[in-house]
Amino acid sequence: MGAIRGSATWQLSIDNVAVCGYTLIMGHIGVDRTAGGPRPGSSRRQRFRLGGSTLGLTAVSPADLIQQLERGFSFKTLQALESRSGLAVSRLADIVGIPERTLARRKVSRRLTPEESERLLRISAVFEDAVDLFEGDVAAAVNWLTTPRKALGDRTALAYARTEPGAREVENLIGRLEHGIFT
């Protein structure tokens, strides 16, 4: 009987790990986390999101979002993230990898390139995840994102998120923190 009970405990542990993995993967593709309910251990009600809400995007499907990315976002998306995060456009542009003179040209043309748009979407997703981590407290989220973290090699989360693998690692760190795994 002990072997069966031990096996059941082991299976429950595996199921919990699978749920956490699923949760992180769904967050990676822009679905806010668990279908039909809150995250394990969370009393907050979750919503589904496509991503980019802090940019003022109105995409209703992944195909729509991809089309907007391929066209390049409006310069207003950068300004929208500035107003929602409190981070200056120049700082956001630096994080996204847009030099100052190029930023001036983008402001005149009122459009970012598809590559710049994708990097901006990545940063906004990390910002949104941090705001969720701090239960809607934008100031606390920005403080966390702009303070060097030992788990990220003493770099800020925003600096680390400049690359796709770095952004995934920041999202993983946020996921671990949400689940009480302090690293």
Give the tens place of pLDDT for each residue, 14-44. Answer: 445 444 544 444 454 444 433 333 344 443 3
Average pLDDT over residues 96-114: 95
Looking at every residue in the chain, the average pLDDT score rounds to 79
Mean pLDDT check: name the lowest of 16-25, 59-68, 87-96, 163-172.
16-25
Residue matched to tokens 């407290």: 137
pLDDT at residue 4 in the model: 46
Distance CA 109, CA 72 (A): 11
Cβ proximity of 118 and 52 under 8 Å: no
Cβ proximity of 62 and 73 under 8 Å: no
Strand, coil or helix: what is 149? strand
Distances (CA, A) of 93 to 13, 77, 84: 43, 11, 15
Which among 126, 134, 128, 142 has a CA at the least distance from the CA of 178?
134
Left (φ > 0), alpha (ψ -120 to 50) or beta: where does 86 sit? left
pLDDT at residue 182 in the model: 67
Name the residue ranges covered by the structural domains of the chain: 1-48, 51-178
Q: Give the predicted TM-score (pTM) of the model.
A: 0.70
Q: How far apart are the first and last CA of the chain?
A: 37
pLDDT at residue 59 in the model: 83
